[in-house]
Chain A
């Protein structure tokens, strides 16, 4: 039970570090583990707790990405209309940005940048979101998609 809790905490920490995919090191480790398994068919590979944790983290993150809800039709969807497999990948990655209300009226994005910013958790409370008093002074990271005019078109929480 305690191990499960620790594993869950580790997974959450990994997910918080990057919601779009597992870190390269985890991916490399996963690929290596798969190759070993298919070639040698050894069970011993899975004995390492770190390997299992990495695998679980990868699966959890993949599930997260694949199950991520599509954004409301709007600015972001309109920008990424290229065809082919790459477009699908972009759609998946971009899907977690939530269009901002004001962005509906802004000109289409020609050149954009994504910046990661830090906001106080207390700001969530001001928006009506329940915040644990003990964590009110903590910070939350969010990514903003800024257009060529510097105005935010979309946002997503990182933590």
Chain B
């Protein structure tokens, strides 16, 4: 019991550290080479919805910017190639060289590919550097199209006490997008802060593509994050993108989402 509590406590502390510590530091031990973490493996992919009949391919860029107490600025950018076909299969090829303020160890694998194939009922997480991957069965409840997708849009930001503003409609990357701004205030004193802290998130959602095409989060505690989808192409992507390339060694994973039949 004590051991479990220790792990839980450590997880909580680790959670806080992923953002609370400043970037650019170097910790001793652990991952090989400079950096804060090393990718062990891509585990699995998760998708909250299946969108059919709205294919696309695009680039997604996430910029993380933080201003340090001495006035210095830290900026980190990660990119991803994303695609979806008419059947609702999705692919995300992402660099994970940085995760928030953490940076990956040099010389280690820093890319992961996730293929979510609701048609076959499988999800794959691939490691292109090692040509290995893990597959996972998608539960039946996640294979059908979801009408709740739009309702979930920004659900995490719509918390009690948050103020939501409608930003209207804008054309972003050639797509009509609905915007909203959610402001969540941390009252003075709640986290030892002298003044109220306002955390602002702007999200632009394309009803046509049924996805977020742009978002910006400004949190004085951690910095600013901008997520932007660019280079949108509505042509049906190459079907090969949604299959596991030849030469990969795939391990079946039952870590999550075990189907009822397997019980």
The interface of chain A, by Cβ under 8 A from chain B, is 12, 18, 20-21, 24, 64, 69, 74-75, 78-79, 82-87, 89-90, 93-94, 96, 98-124, 126-129, 136-146, 148-152, 154-157
Contact = CB atoms under 8 A, between A and B. Distances in A.
B28 A136 contact: yes
Given A86-B259, A98-B11, A126 B21 contact: yes
A19 to B, nearest CB: 9
A152 B99 CA distance: 6
Interface of B: 3-4, 7-21, 27-31, 36-49, 60, 62, 64, 78, 80, 82, 90, 92, 94-96, 98-100, 104, 112, 114, 116, 125, 139-142, 149, 152-157, 159, 182, 184, 199-201, 203, 211-212, 215, 217, 219, 221-222, 225, 227, 254-260
Contacts of A78: 152, 155-156
B40 A127 contact: no
7 contacts: A89-B260, A93-B258, A105-B182, A111-B45, A117-B37, A150-B94, A151-B227
Nearest to B19: A102
With most chain B CB atoms within 10 A of its CB, the pick from A87, A106, A152 is A106
A118 B40 contact: yes
B29 A137 contact: yes
B125 A106 contact: no
Contact of A107 (B39, B201, B219): B201
A57 to B, nearest CB: 15
B145 to A, nearest CB: 13
Contacts of A79: 48, 152, 155
Contact of A119 (B14, B100, B257): B14
Contacts of A137: 28-30
Contacts of B78: 150
Contacts of A126: 17, 21, 27
Contacts of B12: 98
Given A78-B152, A111-B47, A112-B47, A21 B254 contact: yes
A146 B212 contact: no
B112 A99 contact: no
Nearest to A82: B141
Given A85-B260, A114-B46, A148 B156 contact: no
10 nearest A-B pairs in the assembled complex, by CB-CB distance: A120-B30, A137-B29, A114-B43, A149-B227, A116-B40, A120-B29, A127-B13, A139-B30, A117-B37, A75-B156
A149 B215 contact: yes
B62 A149 contact: yes
Given A82-B141, A115-B41, A118-B38, A102 B48 contact: no
A111 B31 contact: no
